[in-house]
Structure 1
Amino acid sequence: MGSVKFVDVVEQDAIFEGSGWDALVVVTPDLSSVKLDEVSLLANHGQKVDKRVGQSVTLLFAPGLAGGRLIIAPVKKADDDYQDVRVFADAAREGIKLAKEAGAKRPLLLVNASTEQRYQHAAQVAALACGQELWQALELREAGGGDEPLEAIGLLADTKEGATCANTLTAIESGRTLARDLCGTEPERMSAPAFADYCVAALANSGLTMSVVEDRDILERDYPLLSAVGRSSFAVLRHQPRVVKLEYVGEGEIEHTYLFAGKGVVYDTGGADLKIAGGMAGMSRDKGGAAAVAGLMKTISMLKPKGIRVVAELGLVRNSIGSEAFVTDEIITSHAGKRVRIGNTDAEGRLVLADLLSHLRLKAVAAVNPQMFSVATLTGHVVRCFGGYTAAVENSVAKQANLAYNMQEQASLWGEPIEVTQLRRDDFSKIVDPSAAADMLSSNNAPSSVTARGHQYPAAFLIEASGLSGHGLNDHKPIAYTHLDIAGSATEGHPQYGTPTATPLVGLFSYMTTR
């Protein structure tokens, strides 16, 4: 899949010519603190003839060093009160880009991080940032137009204790590559059946339990809301919906169970409430939630953490238009038995998630310490509120346990900041069906971006429509649930065709495996 391979390097001689490495990329907020004398001498000399050295990314001719290339990638304003570890990621991306352009195939990466707690994972975050910078679109690679990938990136450490755990980073990057491929690929190449096939192939021999639901009768029986979204797509064989089920069971006694629903709307036309005025552009990226969950399962399958069980369901569907399309005002009964009036067919993601969550809820009831999540590019409102950040909205059980704040703390250290917002009674009022004919209304009929609490109230709908409302604080089986809206963080750069980020894969993995 073109994923970057990382290698731990602790031998200082690796920086010299003939070591097998062909460039040295130094990421540092302060050149004077670099411990390698050869680097310090060359950098000091370079500063005398080029004032950009230490101020912007620069390539120095370095006879005797790996490949004769020394790249200085300065970290800007690392001591600023409001900076976070992404400042190291920014510098690393510039450095690895220059190394690649200079012709390096096996660069060494040295990250000279400060001892501040917020930068404790700076070396790992910088390494993963290199993977983000080097990723190329699947369509480009398959067409033979992509650049030749780097053979490996060496992670240079001062001591064995400072090694950055290359195996872990390689597994994380493998998962992120899968997630980017799934999220960022155009809607025919990565239609619902193609997405499912790509997942199954990428996870073959992984040890995961996998199955794909594709029979229309079963989909309509077990995933009625999802099937309504895809009703018009059933007529086109290559567009038909799929549900991919994945499960990982770690060795040893299971202490925690994590259950994920991933929104995989492979193309969102808006349905009968058609997106207009260019609003459809980029809607092949509406599968970022399912993509991130698939990538997370890839990473987990490679690293095999003990004591946890992870269950995932990915809802893959095309919100097609046509004579069979579902329409606003319909009342459809969810898998959980809740009668849902459709308020807007362009609010389709929550319908897909509700059925997935209902199935996961049944598994959570019998699970050890269950925590449920939905991951979705769900609303424009979250982008209006938080720009490029993920939003976490949790139910009462998760809130009482401070789960979102714990997740936020871990994710921030790994360069995937999360904004935590609170679910309130107003959000449940928004989903009341004014006619009283249905149990609830799926949405209002205005864009979420101009709707008050437009990214919070969908979580109220998900709780009600999935049956999770029966597992609150005072119920016999409370279940913690957190909704992650990644509409702003799933891609970066161009608003429609930017690079997928695989967010929140890294933060979730850290949260699940850090005790």
Structure 2
Amino acid sequence: MTAELNSFHRILEVEMLPVTEVADGRFDGILIVASPYYVHDLKEFSRTLTLAIELDNGLRTEAGVIPLPNYKAGRLIYSPVGCVDEDYDDVRCFRKAANIGIRRAIKAGVTKPMVILQNHPQFNNGSLITLVGVLEGLYVPLQIREKDPRKIHNITSLGVYSKYHDEIDELIQTASLLETGRRIACDIGDSDPERMAPPKVEQYITTIFADTSIKIEVIKDVKEFAKSYPLFEAVNRAANKIERHHGRIMFLEYMPKEEVKKTLFFVGKGVTYDTGGLDVKINGGMAGMSRDKCGAAAVVGFFKIVERLQPKHLRVIGGLGIVRNSIGTNAYVQDELIKARSGVMVRVGNTDAEGRMIMADILCKMKEMAVNAVNPHIYTIATLTGHAVLTAGFGYNIIIDNGPAKKEKHAQKLQLMGEEISDPYEISVLRREDFNFMKGQGVGDDLISSNNKPSSVTPRGHQCPLAFLIMASGLDKHGSGHEKPLKYSHIDIAASTLNYPNPGTGAPVLSLANAHLLNLEHN
């Protein structure tokens, strides 16, 4: 792992240099991300840009390289954000344009670009998100770094200039911090099913948190699965015949040195490959299912930002269910009855609804801990349903609150934090019908894990699984009308991370960091 991590850090820690002189000879390209309607603000380059746009109208919507004969850098890479509609556009236009721009610079052979940050009257966070987009464009997937280093870009340093920001160093540090967490999420989430099979996920996580403040517990004993996490054990059963696919349950914990004032619990779905089990995915439905571990990956990415920031009053606990949903004679099956950790009897309805199965017992464990925790809030994060993609469309997280969280308007607050940081949310609501749908239908069963159809053809197909998680974990005993109400929110990231083979996004690391680590005044 040593060589791999050295590669990781070499690419991650691109030297970012705040500079004061645009004409500095250290740089061989200048990258500008701006609207064509605001090029007049770029006094040094406005004439050059205006003439170039007049000559090539395509520069209003597409990135291009423009000669700069009077500057040592020699060339300007202009990546337009396009015409911004103040009613419907959001700050992602800067992230996308910056990503495209830095990739265009790489194609042009630039090795030391300087990014000139611009203000936009509608987006206060535009400069930060521009840097986020640039760093995102510099990310090289883990397996490419390991298997074919020739495909790594040649960018060695990155200059950052702005006449609008006094705290440019702080802006750079924030962008680098966010990208650190996002890249770790992408390393885990985007790697193929063998490179990030459960034991290798464990290896990666324990390595990046070695000698840090993050405490790690790993459970791999099948007997312990059967005793304490029986729903997880059922999904793991077929994969457990293959040593390199043996499942893992991992717990991460950060404990602040000062008084705890808030406690966050995260449960992440880490299905390293989802075949659908015996309800096998057909018609090409398995493609991209190596990303079914992006929920767990996001939790790990968030923890890396926690480890870097060392928040003084925030305790964070994460539970990861890392497993392969395999096919075989030992696989769990429809109609099987399994008694969950909480004591409820679950009848399996569809083996392709494995995500809720692997999370429910871990969620129950978190519930047990949250009862005695200081100001707790529990999250599940998962690429849980195809229905989420149909509901929101690619690029959006879906957030659903339980009753106690809804009363605090948590979803609306997280949506605002997501909008600020280019990690947007759609809000869904739990209804009585969702709970009724998941109740048992046979003698002795309390719940069904799923109906017998895919979520994508099931009405309320992304809300019903949350009702299952609440009832299967025992969180239904901690609603608003109970003695110890617990806030719980579910984030379905299928629509924000599963757009395979497009690059991974690391969602929702940025929004969670913005909500809980960067904007402490909002908490």
Please state which band the TM-score falls in when normalised by the shorter chain: over 0.9
Distance in 1 (CA, whole Å) between partners of 2:127 and 2:58 is 23
Alpha-carbon distance in 2 for matches of 1:58, 1:276: 42
Match of 1:356 in 2: 362
2:281 corresponding residue in structure 1: 275
Moved more, 401-410 or 270-279: 270-279
Supply the AA of the counterpart residue of 1:221. Answer: K
Q: Does 1:413 align with 2:420?
A: yes
- Greater mean alpha carbon deviation, residues 130-139 or residues 42-51: 42-51
Aligned to 1:176: 182
Alignment partner of 1:126 out of 130, 133, 155: 130
Q: Is the 8 A contact 1:7 1:167 kept in 2?
A: no
**Cα distance in 2 between the residues matched to 1:48 and 1:463:** 59
Partner residue, 1:3: 12
User: How many Å separate the matches in 2 of 1:236 and 1:263?
Assistant: 20
Look up the SS of the partner of 1:305 in the other structure: coil
Q: Give the superposition deviation at 1:33.
A: 5.0
- Give the C-alpha shift of residue 349 in structure 1: 0.3
CA shift for structure 1 position 53 = 4.2
1:12 pairs with 2:12: no
Find 2:160's aligned residue among 138, 155, 164: 155
Q: Is the Cα–Cα contact under 8 Å of residues 264 and 317 in structure 1 kept in the other structure? A: yes
Q: Deviations over 1:10-44 (max 9, x none)?
A: x431x2142x2322111111465554432223323
Distance in 2 (CA, whole Å) between partners of 1:473 and 1:434 is 27
164, 176, 193: which is aligned to 1:187?
193
The percentage of aligned residue pairs carrying the same residue is 37
Aligned to 1:256: 262
Q: Per-residue CA shift, 1:151-209, capped at 9, x if unaligned?
A: 23333221552525212221211111111111111111110111111111122233211
- Secondary structure at the counterpart of residue 78 of structure 1: coil
Counterpart amino acid of residue 516 in structure 2: M
Q: Deviations over 1:353-376 (max 9, x none)?
A: 101111111121111111100000
Shift of 1:399: 0.5
Whole-angstrom CA distance in 1 between matches of 2:330 and 2:391: 35
- Counterpart of 1:270 in structure 2: which amino acid? G
Distance, in Å, in 2 between the alignment partners of 1:50 and 1:449 is 44
Give yes or no for contact 2:17–2:157 (8 Å, CA) kept in 1. Answer: no
1:413-432 residue CA offsets vs partner (Å, 9 max, x unmatched): 11111011100000001111
Structure 1 position 48, deviation (Å) = 5.0
Determine the C-alpha separation between the residues in 1 that align with 2:157 and 2:317: 32
Structure 1: stretches of 5+ with no match in the other structure: none
Question: Which residue of 387, 392, 404 maps to 1:386?
Answer: 392
Query: CA separation of 1:376/1:41 partners in 2, compared to 1, >3 Å: closer, same or farther?
Result: same
Matched, 1:136 2:143: no
Gaps of 5+ in 2: 1-7
Q: What amino acid is the match of 2:405?
A: A
**Aligned counterpart in structure 2 of residue 231 of structure 1, from 212, 237, 241:** 237
Match of 1:475 among 476, 482, 487: 482
> Which residue of 1 is the match for residue 5 of structure 2?
none
Q: Aligned pair in 2 of structure 1 residues 32, 355: CA closer, same or farther (>3 Å)?
A: closer
Q: How does 1:36-75 map to 2 (within 5 A)?
A: 36-47=42-53, 49-65=55-71, 67-75=73-81
Q: In the alignment, residue 100 of structure 1 is paired with which amino acid? A: I
* Residue in structure 1 matching 2:378, options 363, 369, 372: 372
1:103 deviation in Å?
1.5
Give the alignment's TM-score, normalised by structure 1. Answer: 0.94
Number of residue-to-residue matches in the alignment:
507
Aligned CA distance change for structure 1 residues 442 and 507 (closer, same or farther; 3 Å): same
Please tell me whether the aligned partners of residues 490 and 501 of structure 1 are also in contact (alpha carbons under 8 angstroms): yes
The residue aligned with 1:499 is 503
| 1-structure distance, mates of 2:274, 2:223 | 23
CA contact (8 A) 1:21 1:107 kept: yes
Q: 1:100 to 1:87 in 2, by over 3 A?
A: same
Hey, what's the Cα distance between the residues in 2 that align with 1:152 and 1:250? 34
Partner residue of 2:304 out of 298, 305, 309: 298
CA distance in 2 between counterparts of 1:66 and 1:296 reads 40
Partner Cα distance (2:474, 2:487) in 1: 13
**Which moves more between the two structures, 177-186 or 56-65?**
56-65
**Match of 1:500, as an amino acid?**
G
Q: Is the 8 A contact 2:39 2:49 kept in 1?
A: no
Once the 2 structures are TM-superposed, how far is the Cα of residue 234 of structure 1 from its aligned partner? 1.4
Distance 1:44 1:349 in 2: 53
- Partner SS, residue 198 of structure 1: helix
Report the 3-state secondary structure (helix = DSSP H, G, I; strand = E; otherwise coil) of the residue aligned with 2:44. helix
Match runs of 1:194-233 below 5 Å: 194-233=200-239
CA deviation profile, 1:472-507 (whole Å, cap 9, x unmatched): 112221110001111110144xxx422111000000
Give distance in 1, aligned partners of 2:127 and 2:15. Answer: 12
Deviation at 1:398, TM superposition (A): 0.5
Q: Is this contact kept in 2: 1:260–1:313, CA < 8 A?
A: yes
Distance 1:218 1:506 in 2: 34
Aligned partner of residue 494 in structure 2, secondary structure = coil
Which residue does 1:397 correspond to in 2? 404
- Assess, with a 3 A threshold, how the Cα gap between structure 1 residues 230 and 52 changes in structure 2: closer, same or farther: same
Residue 296 of structure 1, CA deviation: 1.0
Deviation (angstroms), 1:148: 3.1
| Letter in structure 1 aligned against 2:156 | E
CA distance in 2, matches of 1:425, 1:48: 59
Question: Counterparts of 1:301 and 1:90 in 2: how far apart (Å)?
Answer: 28
> Per the alignment, in what secondary structure is the counterpart of residue 499 of structure 1?
coil
Rounded to whole Å, the distance in 2 between the matches of 1:297 and 1:316 is: 16
Separation in structure 2 between the aligned mates of residue 244 and residue 66 of structure 1, nearest angstrom? 52
Aligned equivalents of 2:290, 2:476: Cα separation in 1:
32
Cα deviation, 1:411-466, whole Å, max 9, x if unaligned, reads 01111110111000000011111114111111100010010000001000000111
Report if the CA contact (8 A) 1:28-1:34 is conserved.
Answer: no
